[in-house]
Amino acid sequence: MKLLDGKLVSQALKDKLKVQTAVRAAQGKKTPHLAAILIGNNGASETYVGSKVKSCEEVGFKSTLIRLEETISEDDLLFKLNELNEDDDVDGILVQLPLPKHIGEQKIIETILPSKDVDGFHSESVGRMVQGLPAFYSATPYGILLLLEHYQIETKGKHAVVIGRSNIVGRPISIMLSKNEYPGNCTVTVCHSHTPNLKEICLQADIIIAALGRLEFLRADMVKEGAVIVDVGITRVADSSKKSGFAIKGDVAFDEVSTKCSYITPVPGGVGPMTIAALMMNTFKACAAKDN
């Protein structure tokens, strides 16, 4: 078994971006600028946004973190987003999800200018991705593709089973893996909460993308010998030995599945850092698109 080391690969991608950003600066071109909106005091969201801002610093991007109260009205948030849409210096905008219940998530996503939609959640970005047009691929599935590509995982003709069908992970990665490109050309099965024979389907998989958010759901008896396992799940589990008081675990029972598979992503250190690297790549692209 080999680790698909997201920490290592994301660092390599960020190192490359850092050089490309310095080259832009030397050429007198604009510095990529990511604006992140964080609403309320959700601990996990704080951590994710913190990592994104830190990564911007690492690669030499400008970042703006906008903290808003949990009680902000939808109209005020839309107003803020429109300001960022109109700000020529801002290349990419992300609104950290989840949002407070009184704010319509889809409305917010649709308000971000597609040219600044570096999270790739806008219907225009998704539609373009589905049709094979140039688009921002949403960060987590894009990060998974970059990881498969780095390790030169053979995907053509393979059976990929995606567990989960959310708009941000399961659905887009299932489409990306079915496309006529590399990584892709898989035969894809999408499983979800109403799939009755999930174990039998998983046992046929050459590649499993576990993105359901259920602690250590995928066990060794659900995995074919030699399969490639990508664990997207993030669950916080109380752990008094950690300074934070919790450990991060995935959707895969790593200890037992890792004895059977050929490649596997660890949690943490797998898909998480790749998501951030993919976001940085999208932000760079959004900035570079303004060059001409």
| Size of the residue set binding ligand NAD (CB under 6 A) | 24
**Do 231 and 264 contact (CB within 8 A), yes or no?**
yes
The span from the CA of 227 to the CA of 16, in Å, is 30
**In the numeric block, which tokens belong to residue 163?**
């567990």
Catalytic residue, chosen from 14, 52, 249, 260, is 52
| Interface residue with ligand NAD, options 90, 211, 252, 278 (CB under 6 A) | 211
Q: Under DSSP, is residue 95 helix (H, G, I), strand (E, B) or coil?
A: strand
Kindly indicate which of the ranges 25-33, 102-110, 120-128, 211-219 contains the residues binding ligand NAD, using the contact rule CB under 6 A.
211-219
| Interface residue with ligand NAD, options 212, 228, 253, 286 (CB under 6 A) | 212
The span from the CA of 10 to the CA of 286, in Å, is 19
Measured from the CB atom, the residue of 71 and 106 that comes closer to ligand NAD is 106
The span from the CA of 226 to the CA of 21, in Å, is 39
- Window 127-166: contact mask with ligand NAD (x via CB under 6 A): -------------x----------------------xxxx
| Interface residue with ligand NAD, options 169, 229, 230, 264 (CB under 6 A) | 169
Tell me: does residue 191 bind ligand NAD (CB under 6 A). yes
Tell me: does residue 205 bind ligand NAD (CB under 6 A). no
Task: Give residue 190's identity as a one-letter amino acid code.
Answer: V
Catalytic residue flag (residue 52): yes
End-to-end CA separation in angstroms for the chain: 46
Kindly indicate which of the ranges 74-82, 201-209, 230-238, 277-285 contains the residues binding ligand NAD, using the contact rule CB under 6 A.
230-238
Q: Which helix (H) or strand (E) holds 258?
A: none
H helices of the chain, in order, are: 6-26, 43-59, 74-86, 105-111, 123-131, 139-150, 170-178, 198-203, 254-257, 271-288
Give catalytic residues, as residue numbers. 52, 96, 119
Residues that bind ligand NAD (CB under 6 A): 140, 163-166, 168-170, 191-193, 195, 198, 211-214, 232-235, 271-272, 275
